[in-house]
Amino acid sequence: MRQALDDIRVLDLADAMGGYCTKLLADLGADVVKIEKPEGDPMRREPPFLRSAPDGGTSLYWWYFNTNKRSVTLNLESADGRDMFLGLVKSADVLVETLPPAASIRLGVDYPTLRKVNSHLILTSITGFGLTGPYRDFRISDIVGQAMGGLMNITGLPHRPPCATGASQAYYMASMDGVVGTLLALCHRDATGQGQMVDVAMQGAVLKTVSASTVGYLVSRKVLKRTGLEYFRGVRDYFPCKDGYAMCSALGGSGADVMLDWMDSEGMAADLREERYAEVLAAMGSRRRMKKGFGKVAYVDPRRLGLYTHEIAHIQDVWAAWLKTHTREELFAGAQKRGVRLMPVYTAEDVAHEPQLIHRGFFTEVEHPELGAAFKCPGPPYRLAKTPCTMRRRPPLAGEHNLEIYQEEMGIPTRRLSWLKQRGVV
Amino acid sequence: MTLTSARLPLEGVRVLDFCWAVAGPSVTRCLGDFGAEVIKVESTARLDHGRMLPPVIRTGGAEVGALFVNNNCDKLGVTLNMAHPTARDIARRLAAMSDVVINNFASDALERWGLGYDDLVKVKPDIITVSMPLMGTDGPRANYGGYGTGLQAMAGLHYLTGFPDDPPLASNIAYPDFGPNPMHTITAILAALHYRNRTGQGQHIELCQLESTVSFGAVPVLDYLANGVVEMRHGNRAETAAPHGAYRCRGDDRWCAIAVFTDAEWDKLTEVMGRPAWTRQQEFGSFPARKEHEDELDRLLEAWTVNRDADQTMMSLQQAGVAAGVVQSGKDITETDPQVRERGYFLRLKHPEVGEVVCEDVTIKLSASPGKVRRPGPGVGQDNEYVYRQLLQMSEEEINQCYVDGVFD
């Protein structure tokens, strides 16, 4: 079976910020060669670990972001190492690197240097703030990306500190801009033969997710704040139910009338049918009205809702009492049947048991013979009918492909290779 | 070092775009920014409800949704009422001239209209079709509908976000609609275009939005699958760093994020603080010790930041080599951040109805073929004339008949 990128070779000098970028390229079929320091990549020491034991190459973090890659070790700090690196660059289509701008120049991993070696090369640089501007040399981490990119400020409860979204979202977004930039450059090269430099900034990548906050501010001059359990309309979206939590945006938005019918059919609507709640429920939006007009009624005008604080508190109490009588699954299925917006809040365990993902075969069995382990791993995020992503190889051991690449592909003699090994170059 | 050519990377690629709301239009916006000709199909019978998302720009009698205008830059807008058989015929003719046909309907509407891959491959052998179903088209939850923030909850990301004693949380901006789902879809389309460039083969792409969003929280799922461990939210802490969090600064809702991974970084942080006595205590002398006394560490560090300006705190820490960043609001980003200004992440465009509008500029900087935001999201049917008359070469008579019959409603 062919794969979409099975004709390109990618050199991978990316840390955790760019790991997902090169993972996606590898899973789409590219020959991704991870260049590790002789002592092994720092990602190998990132938690969580298999059997929760941090020794012996058991990082599941490393596992997830390095499937389908090969690995060589190389000390870029040495002149011999840099020579070998240039040899690798000659036969590469893409280099993805996350070095700070000053380090990339010091180590010769910069575009002016590398395009002399390979003018077709696409060099994708992923940094915290980009290669230009006053903050280009800033130290970064995921939380700094989420903070400076505006995602963190709008995440959390109103009277509590802002909160980073879990699972390193700024790194994910930086990687996504990296992979999209790389593939755009590849399409350009398909047409022109020309390589180029792709400059990606984690901050810019995160910014894309918060246009409601940035463009929203420029238009309305209102600062979007953390709203906690209320997501869109100034009414609560988020409630405990019988076996966990449910996101129930139908209650306060399009479909509040449908939900009321549902509660009523189970004798749980309490007094919400009374006249004094009619106006506020209408202000929160009804599905029937939405079908007639379009859209606008689905979003509550907060100035109107501000007049109904007591009524809203009572309505939310009635909702909360009813939601407590149902499981997430009952609510989810029932809401789908009625065409209103309600979704379950899942833990990682719930995700692993989610029937739709299981039905679709999203989790694939993988093996790691050296660790004597086999387990299921989340699959690719998309399906390309003719060029599917497959698990071709488990993540590499450090330097596993030194011989294959240095000796067999680059033709470096055995004696030279052992000399380089003694000198700590590989 | 730049060899700028006038050519955009996706020049010559035409996209027939049935997307609506947010996640789908974000995909085609990016393709348009980088040179694809995107034809956005709408019907006055069922307008893209993304048009109504607040806030609204009002000038004189005209009003447009600011987020729609931003999220639909670089697209042509046509009206076509797909309920009409002639409209489906016209759509097929447009598809035959296109390279990519994309939709993000919850159901298989395009297949029912005869615009699925199996139909279109007959009129355009190398067509790439893209669908973005919420949960996929088969299985117990086939064709389920939903929305971005709900997907984030279902993918397990809420559960990983927030402080341990608080309920699980998320941002209030439907993150998956701007993050994983459009970005993964763009990735798949570009990979398929590259494959087509060298083999002449098109194909169908399916992005199941649940699978895509789960991918942004995959490691905790893997931890459960391999170890049976359920990772919980831990506020702003990180297993491999201390201190690590957002620390309150002077002023209303001002915070600075600080991340210290190594002893060397801790030393630099204490130096910036002027090495107060508490930093020399044994409880904070090593990473394991700091981790063990993290509550106390956070309290003492915040006692230092709380009287300081957030920007100055960031600058002094960064100058010393400590990762730090202001927890910026939309206002900070658009008004004061010099990096944002230097990188040019926002631009002003002329809108035909409401005058000047602000939109996001391209964030990915390509040296030889940079993207370019050329015009704001189109008005309803703004480009009917160009698409139907010039592109499809429909006759005056045919076009008039379509208007009369409601085909272009």
> What percent of chain A is modeled with pLDDT above 90?
79
Question: Tokens 């596992």, residue?
Answer: A63
B152-180 residues labelled b (16+ CB within 10 A) or e (exposed): bbbbbbbbbbbbeebbbbbbbbbbbbbbb
Whether the per-residue pLDDT at A233 is higher than 80: the answer is: no
Q: What pLDDT was estimated at residue A308?
A: 81
Rounded to the nearest angstrom, the minimum Cα separation between A141 and chain B is 7
Kindly state the average pLDDT of the residues A154-182. Answer: 97
Displacement of CA A16 from its chain's centroid (Å): 12
Mind listing the pLDDT tens digit for each residue in A396-417? 999 999 999 999 999 999 999 9
Contact between chains at A378 and B52 (C-beta distance less than 8 A): no
Residues of B in contact with A289 (CB under 8 A): none
Question: Chain A: residue nearest B362 by CA?
Answer: A204
Q: Where does the pLDDT of residue A52 fall: very low under 50, low under 70, confident under 90, or very high at 90 and above?
A: confident
Asked whether the beta carbons of A45 and A57 are under 8 A apart, the reply is no
Residues B223-239 have pLDDT tens digits of: 999 999 999 999 999 99
Where would I find the beta strands (DSSP E) of A44-121?
Answer: 69-73, 94-97
With CB atoms and an 8 Å threshold, state whether A343 touches B194: no
Q: Which residues of A touch B147 (CB under 8 A)?
A: 249, 341, 343
pTM greater than 0.90: yes
- Least CB–CB distance from B235: residue in A163, A219, A355: A163
**Rounded to whole angstroms, how far apart are CA atoms B307 and B249?**
6
User: Which residues in B lie closer than 8 A to residue A337 (C-beta atoms)?
Assistant: none
> What does the pLDDT look like over A100-113, one tens digit per residue?
999 999 999 999 99
- Reported as a pLDDT band with limits 50, 70 and 90, residue A297 is very low
Picking from A48, A363, A376, the residue whose alpha carbon sits closest to that of residue B210 is A363
CA of A138: which chain B residue's CA is closest? B318
Do A139 and B245 make contact, defined as CB atoms within 8 angstroms?
Answer: no
pLDDT at A296: 40
> Dihedrals φ, ψ of A22, to 5°?
-75, -30
A–B CB contacts, 8 A cutoff, strictly below: 531
Amino acid at B173: I
Inter-chain touch B233–A153, beta carbons under 8 Å:
no
Q: For chain B, which residues score pLDDT lower than 70?
A: 1-5
Q: Under an 8 A CB cutoff, do A187 and B193 touch?
A: yes
- Concatenating the DSSP letter of every residue in A132-200 gives SSTTTT----HHHHHHHTTTGGGBS-TTS---PPTTTHHHHHHHHHHHHHHHHHHHHHHHH---EEEEE
Structure confidence at residue A306 (pLDDT): 73
Q: What are phi and psi for residue A69, nearest 5 degrees?
A: -100, 160
Tokens at A264, concatenated: 């009523």
- Min CA distance, B397 vs chain A (Å)? 32
Q: Are B188 and A355 in contact (CB < 8 Å)?
A: no
Answer whether B195 sits within 8 Å of A4, measured CB to CB.
yes
Residue B211 to residue A360, Cβ atoms within 8 A = yes
Q: Grade residue A235 by pLDDT with cuts at 50, 70 and 90.
A: confident
Contact B140 A2 (CB under 8 A): no
Residues of A with Cβ-Cβ distance to B216 under 8 angstroms = 167, 169, 172
Q: Which residues pair with A246 in a beta bridge?
A: A239, A344
In angstroms, what separates the C-alpha of B364 from chain A's closest C-alpha? 5
**Can you give the length of chain B in residues?**
409
The Cβ-side half-sphere exposure at B395, using a 13 Å CA radius, reads 3
More confident residue, A426 or A103: A103
C-alpha of B121 from chain center: 30
Tokens describing residue B281? 């205590």
**CB-closest option in A48, A199, A354 to B227:** A48
Whether the predicted pLDDT of A321 surpasses 90 = yes
pLDDT tens for each residue of B42-63: 999 889 988 888 888 988 888 8
Catalytic residues of B: 177
Is the Cβ–Cβ distance between A123 and A114 less than 8 Å?
yes
Cβ-Cβ contacts under 8 Å, B162 against chain A: 156-157, 163
Q: What is the pLDDT of residues A191-216, one digit of tens each?
A: 999 999 999 999 999 999 999 999 99
| Cβ-nearest to B49 among A148, A163, A294 | A294
Strands A94-97 and A9-13: parallel
Please give the ipTM for the structure prediction.
0.98
Contacts 24+ apart (CB under 8 A), A81-86: A81/A425, A81/A426, A82/A107, A82/A108, A84/A406, A84/A410, A84/A412, A84/A420, A84/A425, A84/A426, A85/A35, A85/A109, A86/A114, A86/A117
Chosen for mutation from A215, A239, A394 (greatest number of chain B CBs closer than 10 Å) is A215
**What's the whole-number mean pLDDT along residues A274-297?**
60
Cα separation, B79 vs B44, in Å, equals 7
- Residue B139, token pair as written in the block: 């299985």
Q: For B216-293, where are the alpha helices, taking DSSP H only?
A: 218-227, 263-272, 287-292
Of B53, B255, B259, the CB nearest to A144: B259
Q: Which of A153, A160, A226 to mutate to test the interface with B (most CBs of B within 10 A)?
A: A153
* pLDDT tops 50 at residue A291: no
Residue A307: pLDDT over 60: yes
Tell me which chain B residues have a C-beta less than 8 angstroms from the C-beta of A342: 150
Chain B residues touching residue A348 (CB < 8 angstroms)? 156, 159-160, 217, 220-221, 223-224, 230-231
List CB contacts (< 8 A) between A356 and chain B: 135-136, 139-142, 144, 210
How many angstroms away from the CA of A416 is the closest CA of chain B?
A: 35
CB contacts of B185 in chain A (<8 Å) are 382
A413–chain B nearest CA distance, Å: 35
- Between chains, do B230 and A347 touch, taking CB under 8 Å as contact? yes
* Nearest CA-CA distance, residue B408 and chain A, Å: 19
Taking an 8 Å cut-off on Cβ atoms, the answer to whether A147 and B326 are in contact is yes
User: How far apart (Å, rounded) are the C-alpha atoms in residues B72 and B40?
Assistant: 9
Question: How does residue A250 score in pLDDT terms, banded at 50, 70 and 90?
Answer: confident
Nearest-angstrom CA–CA distance, B395 and B409: 18
Q: In 3-state terms, what secondary structure has residue A375?
A: strand
**DSSP state letters, B322-338:** -EEEE---HHIIIII-H
